[in-house]
Structure 1
Amino acid sequence: MSNNNFLPPLHPQFRYRIEIVGNEKVPVLVIDNFLHEAEALLGYAVKFGEFSDGTDYYPGIQSHVPEFYSQALQTYLPDIICEAFSLTRENINYSQSTYSLILTPPARLALPQSRPHVDTIHKEKLACVHYLCTPEKGGTSLYRHRATGFELLSPERMDIYGEHLAKEAQDTSWHKKYINGSNQYYEEIARYESNFNRLIMYPSDVLHSASIPENFQFRPNPIIGRLTLNSFIYLK
């Protein structure tokens, strides 16, 4: 898989399902057994990865991916994406992907990293996580903000949501830890385990977070760490 011109085939046991989650009926696409011989993506990360500090509050390090990976997303998934998110092919613009490894220990978390977040407050992209690790590394959960009932954020909701965030920030009991399930401020509405070669996709404006267990070992080695391929599908 080191050849950027190579397009890996789909896994022979590729399968998918579409779930509708929460009160706001958020669509989630779950693909199991995405690419054939996905283990080679681990090898690429080890041999060619150039990891550096993550961007946009990502609590770890990130690296570029082989060009063929975006090609695989854009070749194999458009029809399924359209089905799951009520789009047409013309809505899909392009994709952008990075390898990601969570490394930040709880004691070094910034407050925004301790609570669920959205990637955008506009309906401009879809987020997807392709797990290249095993379930004990922690999957991904979607959340509802208890005080407002918000599962999705939008520009119109930010004033009231921001007021609640300011109040909740004064309670330091939940700071400096990864959220992993419901707490006093957020209710977990869906959880997806990090099965190897599973890909999940959801709207980027839904509240979500990696579900990092308390006994998590923060390891920078892609082979034994929580390696994921994180992508955005940009929409027109």
Structure 2
Amino acid sequence: MFNPHPKIRVVPLYDGENLVIVDDLLRAPQQLVELARQSRAEFSDADHNYFPGPEFNLPPQMEQAFGQFIVEHVRKPLGARRTDMLATRLALATLQPPQLQNLQRVCHCDTVPQPNRAGTGAMVLYLFNDPRLGGTGFFRKKCSEAEFHDMVVRSGTLDRAGFSALTGAGDGYAVASDHYFEKIYTAEPAWNRAIFYHGTVFHSADIHSPALLRDDVDTGRLTVNAFFNLRRNAA
């Protein structure tokens, strides 16, 4: 399933956090596109998270294969000594800016810091050819924890204009710095490219042209999104 000789590079982000970029991840990535095509009716809206579109859980054997790849190639550059898979999903970003909830218009993290150096890692595998569909932006928080918490709470009560005034967020996806976050890096998309990062790092889909999003696995922004438990090496 996986390329035995993937092209791997490590990009330092901040505070010791790394982004691991793997090109030519799969031997036959088109097979996952075909699986998405055959399973499209089984995709469901992501009401359990903030992903802007429907998702489909990969079969257990594929999830296990992704987990083994992480053990062999990604765990070390992420600074982890143990990993195990949580979820691996095909995902299709489809929401247009007016459909986004307030918190989908700013960057987010997948987990908060945990005791004993435990946590969550994440992966995005790009399965589309058009780079205009967007990669992934990474951000550094520039507000206090209290200010961040207040923003999250107020996101549920403010209308779109009020939330924009509070945060400096644009009307669509988070593609630039705002009042709360500084954008520090953009992972550009490429066919069969995967990125891996720690879940405490703030990030967002870097979608500058949402009009190009399609509810179609062959022309839309199809990805595999994965999450895995990890325990970091001792500090």
Question: Normalised by the size of structure 2, how large is the TM-score?
Answer: 0.83
Letter in 2 for 1:144: R
In the alignment, the residues of structure 1 paired with residue 151 and residue 86 of structure 2 have an alpha-carbon distance, to the nearest angstrom, of 33
Query: How far 1:233 sits from its partner (Å)?
Result: 1.2
Match of 1:223 in 2: 218
Equivalent residue runs for 1:64-75 within 5 Å: 64-75=57-68
Query: How far 1:187 sits from its partner (Å)?
Result: 1.8
> 3-state SS of the aligned residue for 1:191?
strand
Q: Deviations over 1:26-59 (max 9, x none)?
A: 1111111001011111001001231111131221
Match of 2:56 in 1: 63
In the alignment, the residues of structure 1 paired with residue 169 and residue 83 of structure 2 have an alpha-carbon distance, to the nearest angstrom, of 38
Identity %: 25
> 3-state SS of the aligned residue for 2:121?
strand
Match of 2:43 in 1: 51
In the alignment, the residues of structure 1 paired with residue 70 and residue 193 of structure 2 have an alpha-carbon distance, to the nearest angstrom, of 14
Report the more deviating stretch, 159-168 or 75-84: 159-168
CA contact (8 A) 1:30 1:201 kept: yes
> 3-state SS of the aligned residue for 2:34?
helix
Equivalent residue runs for 1:102-181 within 5 Å: 102-123=93-114, 124-134=119-129, 135-148=131-144, 157=145, 159-163=146-150, 166=154, 169=163, 171=165, 174=169, 176-181=171-176
> 2:195 pairs with 187, 200, 224, which one?
200
Query: How far 1:186 sits from its partner (Å)?
Result: 2.5
> 3-state SS of the aligned residue for 1:107?
helix
In the alignment, the residues of structure 1 paired with residue 36 and residue 29 of structure 2 have an alpha-carbon distance, to the nearest angstrom, of 12
Match of 1:19 in 2: 11
Q: Deviations over 1:61-108 (max 9, x none)?
A: 1112233321221222213233112222xx212241011111111011
CA contact (8 A) 2:96 2:211 kept: no
CA contact (8 A) 1:137 1:212 kept: yes
Question: Tell me, which stretches of 5 or more residues in structure 2 are unaligned?
Answer: 156-161
CA contact (8 A) 1:110 1:176 kept: no
Q: Deviations over 1:150-183 (max 9, x none)?
A: xxxxxxx3x3422355598361663531111334
> 3-state SS of the aligned residue for 2:182?
strand
Match of 2:159 in 1: none
In the alignment, the residues of structure 2 paired with residue 16 and residue 146 of structure 1 have an alpha-carbon distance, to the nearest angstrom, of 30
CA contact (8 A) 2:127 2:192 kept: yes
Q: Deviations over 1:9-32 (max 9, x none)?
A: x2365210112113x231111111
Match of 1:76 in 2: 69
